[in-house]
Structure formats: structure tokens, C-alpha cells
Amino acid sequence: MIQKTNRMNLVEQVASQIEQLIGSGHWQIGDRIPPEMELMEKFDVSRNTLREAIRALVHAGLLETRQGSGTIVRSTNALGAAIKRHVKKSALLETIDVRLALEKQAAQLAAEHRSETDLAKLEEYIQLSRQAVENKDYEQFIKLDIHFHQAIVSASNNQLLIDLYEPLAEIIYSFVQDLMAMNKPFKYEEELHIELFTAIRNQDKHAAATYVEDYMEVLRKEVVEMIEEE
């Protein structure tokens, strides 16, 4: 919980505590942090100190100040904020490159380390995704598909890989929305990733890696075609 400051650099302390509160989930993405007076009292600091700390976190990308809405949590960690800022300025092809690097490694590790619990979770996401397609609930399908990819990364049992991939969830969601905005048909039925699930279930690292490579290559070609058409 919030602790009163007791050292020299109050701005850094307040910023660090706010970052910890966000990272721990006490304040989540989209939440509005408490008003100034409440935070000044809890941190036992002046208005100027609090504002400097918040300004630093806004600059880092963790917080966002919105007129009429207060200060909103924008990202859960500095790494995620940095990645999101970069991706906004980068091409779709760069996003594919990053996904290929992380998801290929995750798929291979998942094939090696997956548990029965991991498999059950992956299979559940596939079934729920199929239902979403049948119900033409494509917004829900996209969310479930992202959960599926996150579950594979989680099954890798590599905490650093999990931490690196975490900020990509929002990026992938935006990526798919960008594809749809370009009037590119999204092949929902082909996005269930049955072959990838089978490879992980069979602990076939080569097949899992090959699936991700092929999937990303098809995606890359589609993006290149869209760019050339513009």
C-alpha cells in the first residue's frame, strides 16, 4: 500500500511508489488515479512534488492526463509503455518481426514444457474462439485469440519471455484492427491455430516453430500487398 516518504528525493520516491501500485495491479490500465489532495495526504508530500512525479510518469508513458477525466493509467510498466510508443510510429511489418521472434521461441518452449493444465487452457480458448466465430462475435474472437497466444507464452515457463510479450497484447489487438480498417478480410476460421495446438500437445518443437514461421510469413505477404495497393 502507499507509504509515506522519508528520504531526500521525494519526487523519485512518489513516482516509484505509483509505479509499484500500477505494477501490482492496485491501479489497472484505464483506471483513474485518486485526486491530488488525496494523494498528497497519503504520500505526505506537497502539490508540486506530486505533480512532478506524475509528470515524470506521464513522460514515461505509464500515466496519461486527460482534460476533464483526471490522470489515467496507460501502461503497467515502463517497458510496455516504451514498446507501445515505438509501435505507434513503426510499420506493421516491424510488428510482425517482433511477434515472429517472440512467438516462435515461445511455441518451441511451450512444446517442451507444457503441462496438462496448459493444454486444457489452450483447448478451451480454441473452443470459445470457434463459438465466437459461429456467433459472428468477431470482437470477442480477437480477444480470445490474444488470450490463446498469451497462454502459449505462459506455457513456455520462461518468465523473461512472458514479461517481454505482455505489452504486445494491446499492440496485437491494434494490429488486427488496423488490418480490418484497411478492408482486408480477416480469415477467422483459419485463426483457430489447431495445428499449433497439436504440435504443442505432441511436444513437437520443430512443427510448432514451423507453424509460427509459416503463419507470420503469410501475414507479412498480406501486409506487403496492402501497402503496395495504397
For every residue of 131-197, DSSP letters joined together read: HHHHTT-HHHHHHHHHHHHHHHHHHTT-HHHHHHHTTHHHHHHHHHHHHHHTTPPP-GGGGS-HHHH
- Is pLDDT larger for residue 180 or for residue 118? 118
Q: Per-domain residue ranges for the chain?
A: 10-76, 80-229
pLDDT of residue 6: 47
pLDDT in tens, 19-44: 888 888 888 878 889 999 999 999 99
pLDDT band at 7 (very low <50, low <70, confident <90, very high): very low
Q: Is the pLDDT of residue 85 over 90?
A: no
- Which three cell numbers mark 139? 470482437
Judge whether residue 166 has pLDDT over 50: yes
Q: Which fold has domain 10-76?
A: Arc Repressor Mutant, subunit A (1.10.10)
The backbone torsions φ and ψ at residue 65, rounded to the nearest 5 degrees and listed phi first, read: -95, 120
**Who wins on pLDDT, 140 or 157?**
157
Q: Are 32 and 71 in contact (CB under 8 A)?
A: yes
How many C-alpha atoms does 11 have within 13 Å on its Cβ side?
Answer: 9
User: What's the whole-model pTM score?
Assistant: 0.60
For residue range 41-78, what is the model confidence (pLDDT) as tens digits?
999 999 999 998 898 888 877 888 877 678 988 877 76
The residues that bridge with 66 in the sheet, in sequence order, are: 70
Strand partners, 71: 65
Higher local confidence (pLDDT), 90 or 143 = 143
CATH code given to domain 80-229? 1.20.120.530
